[in-house]
Structure 1
Amino acid sequence: MIRIDLKRICSVAVIAMLATPALGEPVTIAVWMHEHPPRLALDEKLVAAFEQANPDINVDLTIFPNAQFEQRLQIGFASGDGPDLFNSGSFNIGQYRHSRLLAPVDLKTVGVDDLNELKAKFGIGIAGAEFDGVAYGLPTEVSNYACVANNALWRTAGLNPAKDAPATWEEMVEVARKLTRRDDGNVPVVRGFDFNWSDPIFMWLTFNAMVNQLGGTVIDEAALTADFDSVQVRTVMDFWSAWANDWALGGPQYTASRDAFLAGELATECTFGSWGRDQFKAAGIDYTFFPVPRWREGTVDTGFNAYAYYMMVNANAPPERQEAAWRFAAFYASQGEALFEEAGLFTTVPAVQELESYTSDGSNTIFTDELDKAVFSPRVPGFNELGDALARARDRIVINHEDASAALGELEAEASTILGRF
C-alpha cells in the first residue's frame, strides 16, 4: 500500500505557494516524465497536493514509456511543442545545454540565495547539473553502482564476500577464476564476474570510470576534445580484452550481466544500484554488496560513474510558466523521503539519510560513501554517438582481435569529428 505523509508534503507545498502569491488566472505547465512504475502513484499524489496548495498553477503531467521518452522530447523541442518542465538524465544534459534548451535554476523561486544554499538543500546530486557555477536542474534520483555477490554461489566456491571481496581489479581476476564453473568443453556455465557488455551506456559508466581510476580523462567537457588514444584507455581496453580472450572469464557473447546474475548464472555483478534489492528478493538471491574494485596502481579513488535524473525547465517557455515550473520542480525534488520509501529512488536531500528505512540497511553506506567519491560521466553533446563509437572500438579489439593502437587511434579521430560538430 502506498504510504505518503500528506501533512509533510502539503507543508512543503504551502511554502512553495507563499513564495509567489496567486494572481490572475491559473498558469498551466506541461510536465513530461519517463515511466517508473513504482513512482506513478506517488506522482499523482504529489501533483494533487501541489495543486491544492498552489491554486494558481495547474500541472499537466504526461508519462512516456522509457524507450520513447528522449525521442519524444527531441521531437517536442524541435516542433516548439515541448514541455515546460521535464525529467531527464545527466546523460542528456550536455546536449540540451549546448542546444540552449535549459533555463538556469531560478534560485529565488526555489527558495535559496546562492548555489551553496542550493547544494545544502538538495545535496551533492546537484553536481551533475552544474556547469561553471550555474545549476540547470534539481535531482529526483541520484544513482551509482556497487558490486553484488550471490552468497550461495560464493559459498559453493568456498568464498565469503565479507572477507574475500576483491579490492582491486587484479584481485578480481583471481576471485572470478575461483567462482567460475565450467562444462566439459571449458565453457563457463557460471561466471564469477563479468562486465556489462550489453549497452554502450555502460562504456561510460564502467569503462570510462576505470580510465578515471588510472588518472585518465577521455573527454574534456570544457574544451570538447577527446583523448581515447591514451595509456590509461589502452590499459583498460587490454584488461577487458584479456578478460574475454586470454582468461576466458566472460565477454559479450554471454547473457547480459544483470540478467545472468538474476538467473543465478553470474556470481558477481557490478552495475546494480541500491534499487536492485527488490529484484534480488524476487529472484530469491541472498546477496552482499561491496565497493567496486580499484586498480592496484590507480591514482584516483573512485568507483563507477554516477548518474542522476533532474527536473529541468525549458528555456523557451514563457517567463510565467518557467517560474511556475520551478515552483513545482522545487516541491517535487524536495520529496526525497517519499521518493525513497515509496518509489525506491535515492536522492541526496539530507533528510533521506536520516530515515529509519535508510539507516536500518547498513549496505546503504556503501553507496553513499562511493557517491562521495564518484564523478559523473562526461556531460557533452553527442554523448550517445560517442558511447556507440567507443563500444564499436571495443568490439573491434575484443571480438575481431584488431590491433588496439589502430582501433583506438581511429576512435579518437571519430570522436573528434563528432565533437567538432558542436
Structure 2
Amino acid sequence: MKKALVMLALFVLIIPAALFAAGAKEAVVDENAPVTVQYWTHEDPARTQLETELIAEFMAKHPNITVVRTTQSAVKQIELVQTAFAANQGPDMFNLPIENQYAYITNSRVAPVDYKAAGYANKQDLLDKYIPGVLDTVTLNGEVYGLPLELTNWSIYINKKVFRSAGLNPETDYPKTWEEMADISAKLVLRDGDILIRRGFDFRYPYYLTFFVPMVEQLGGDLLSADGKKAIIGDDAWIKALTFMKNWGPSGRNLGSPTYKNARNIFNQDNNDIAMAHTGLYQEGRIQKDNPAFFNSKEWMVVPFPVFKDAVRNVASCYYGHFFMVNADASPAVQKAAWKLSGFLLSHGEDYLTRGGNIIQPTKALFASDTLKNMPYSKVFIDDMNRSHMIYYGENSAQIQTLIRNAVESVMLSGVSPEKALATLRAAAQEVIDEQ
C-alpha cells in the first residue's frame, strides 16, 4: 500500500505541464494589465509580519499586481502543494525544502527564473550575487529554476543553567564528540522510572537526511556511490551509526527517543526539561519572541555539530534551502509578476535576517555584512556550514529519508539489530534508486 501511494505521488508530479517553462519568458506580456499572484508558503510569525509589509509595499509600486499570501504548517504545506499540482491547480509561487521541491524541477512543473523580471541583468548577474554553488541545486540543463528564500543549517544550542545544575561547566564541558554527547547527556538526564523528565540532548527526528547521514559520513560511509547508482555505502560506518542510535534509545542508555516532544520546540521555555537542542540560527529569533527573559539572560549558547572521536571526515549537519519557484502552468503575465515579487522580497536580505526570523539568504552581500557577523553565534553556524554540504535532494529524497527513518527507529524502538536494519535499508533504498 505504501509503495502504491509513493508511485501515485510520483505519477502526479510527472504530468506534463501545460505550458513549458521557457515559453513564459518568450511570451509578450502586457505588464500593466491586472494580474493576481497566489503565493503559498510555510507558517512563520516573524516572516509573516515582514512579508505582509513588504508585499503591501510591492503592490503599491505595482498597482496592477495583487498578491494573495497563504500559509500552512511546514508539513501540511508539502502535502498541499503536491495535491494541488496533481490537480493542475498548483500555486503561482511557492517555497518548500529543496528535498521536497526538486522533483518539481525535474518534472517540468516549474518555470526557469525570468532574470530581468527578478531584477538581474542576466543569468551571470544572478550567479554573481550568490555564494558559489548555492544555485547549482536548482540548475538543470543550464537553466536556474529557483531563488533561495533561505539557507539553513543546525548547530547545538545549550542551556547553561541545566549544565551547571549537573556540576558541568558549559563553556568547557560541552560535547565535541558524539561519544561525549552521550556521556554528558547521561549526567544531565532526570527520570521518573523509565520516563525522561529532563533530557540532555535529543535528535531532530525525523529529519534523518539532515543529521544522521552526516554522522554516517563522519565514519566514512555514504548515502550513495559517486555515480549515484549504488545505495548505502560503507557497512561499518552505517552499522556503527545505527548502533549509536540503538544505544541512545529506550532499550539502550535511554537518553532520548522519537516518541518525545521535539527538543527544539521546548528549548525556548527554559523549563529544566532539555539541556541541548539541534536547530538553526532562526531559533535565536524564536527564543527572543517566546521567552525574552531567557534570551537576554545570556544563559544559552551555541556550539558546533559534534563528530565521532574516530571520525575520518569532519562533516557537520547538512544545510538545506527553501527556494521561491514559479508554476510553469501559470500564465506568462502571472509568471512575470511572480518573479518580480520574488526578486523584490529577496532584495531585503538584511530585513529577513533581523526581522524575518533570523533567515539567512545566501548572498555574497549578506555573508559579508556586519549585520550577519554581529548576530550572536553566527560564526558557529557559518563555520559549520563551511564543513557541510547541501542535503540530498534527488527527486526520491522523501522516500530515502523515510527508509532511513524506518531503519533508525527500528533499532531504537523495535529491537531490530543494526545489521538486519542495514540489510533492509540497503535493499529498499537500492530499489528506489533503480526505479528512478
Q: Which residue of 2 is the match for residue 143 of structure 1?
A: 152
Write the mapping of 1:21-420 to structure 2, written as runs, cut at 5 A.
23=31, 25-55=33-63, 57-66=64-73, 67-112=75-120, 117-123=125-131, 125-131=134-140, 134-182=143-191, 185=193, 188-197=196-205, 200=206, 202-219=207-224, 223=228, 225-227=230-232, 230-244=235-249, 245-261=251-267, 262=269, 263-270=271-278, 272-281=279-288, 282-283=290-291, 285=294, 286-344=299-357, 345-353=359-367, 357-420=371-434
TM-score, normalised to structure 2's length?
A: 0.81
C-alpha distance in 2, partners of 1:105/1:230?
A: 41
C-alpha distance in 2, partners of 1:414/1:214?
A: 22
* Counterpart amino acid of residue 326 in structure 1: W
Q: Which runs of 5+ in 2 are unaligned?
A: 1-27
Say whether the 8 Å CA contact 2:189–2:196 is kept in structure 1. yes
Say whether the 8 Å CA contact 1:311–1:333 is kept in structure 2. no
Residue 220 to residue 188, structure 1, CA distance change in 2 (3 Å): same
C-alpha distance in 2, partners of 1:358/1:70?
A: 29
C-alpha distance in 2, partners of 1:133/1:299?
A: 35
How far apart are 1:206 and its partner, in Å? 0.9
Say whether the 8 Å CA contact 1:93–1:380 is kept in structure 2. no
C-alpha distance in 2, partners of 1:248/1:30?
A: 47
* Counterpart amino acid of residue 303 in structure 2: F
Residue 395 to residue 180, structure 1, CA distance change in 2 (3 Å): same
Say whether the 8 Å CA contact 1:138–1:329 is kept in structure 2. yes
C-alpha distance in 2, partners of 1:277/1:311?
A: 24
* Counterpart amino acid of residue 254 in structure 2: A
Instruction: Report the secondary structure of 1:118's partner residue.
Output: helix
Say whether the 8 Å CA contact 1:182–1:190 is kept in structure 2. yes
C-alpha distance in 2, partners of 1:222/1:27?
A: 45
Instruction: Report the secondary structure of 2:95's partner residue.
Output: strand
Say whether the 8 Å CA contact 1:229–1:409 is kept in structure 2. no
Percent identity (aligned): 27
C-alpha distance in 1, partners of 2:312/2:234?
A: 19
Instruction: Report the secondary structure of 1:375's partner residue.
Output: coil
C-alpha distance in 2, partners of 1:412/1:116?
A: 41
Residue 162 to residue 126, structure 1, CA distance change in 2 (3 Å): farther
CA distances 1:8-50 after superposition (whole Å, capped 9, x unpaired)? xxxxxxxxxxxx9965524443322222222223223222322
Instruction: Report the secondary structure of 1:196's partner residue.
Output: coil
| Number of aligned positions between the proteins | 397
Instruction: Report the secondary structure of 2:69's partner residue.
Output: strand
C-alpha distance in 2, partners of 1:44/1:187?
A: 43
Say whether the 8 Å CA contact 1:221–1:380 is kept in structure 2. no
TM-score, normalised to structure 1's length?
A: 0.83
Residue 36 to residue 231, structure 1, CA distance change in 2 (3 Å): same
Q: Which runs of 5+ in 1 are unaligned?
A: 1-19
* RMSD of aligned Cα (Å): 2.9
C-alpha distance in 1, partners of 2:88/2:182?
A: 52
Say whether the 8 Å CA contact 1:224–1:380 is kept in structure 2. no
* Counterpart amino acid of residue 324 in structure 2: M
How far apart are 1:137 and its partner, in Å? 0.9
CA distances 1:87-135 after superposition (whole Å, capped 9, x unpaired)? 2221212221232212232334444466654243133543543456643
Residue 88 to residue 59, structure 1, CA distance change in 2 (3 Å): farther
Say whether the 8 Å CA contact 2:316–2:388 is kept in structure 1. yes
Residue 415 to residue 364, structure 1, CA distance change in 2 (3 Å): same
* Counterpart amino acid of residue 69 in structure 1: Q
Say whether the 8 Å CA contact 1:221–1:379 is kept in structure 2. no
C-alpha distance in 2, partners of 1:331/1:287?
A: 35
C-alpha distance in 2, partners of 1:86/1:151?
A: 39
How far apart are 1:154 and its partner, in Å? 0.8
Residue 278 to residue 46, structure 1, CA distance change in 2 (3 Å): closer
C-alpha distance in 1, partners of 2:215/2:77?
A: 29
C-alpha distance in 2, partners of 1:119/1:131?
A: 14
* Counterpart amino acid of residue 58 in structure 1: I
Residue 226 to residue 356, structure 1, CA distance change in 2 (3 Å): same
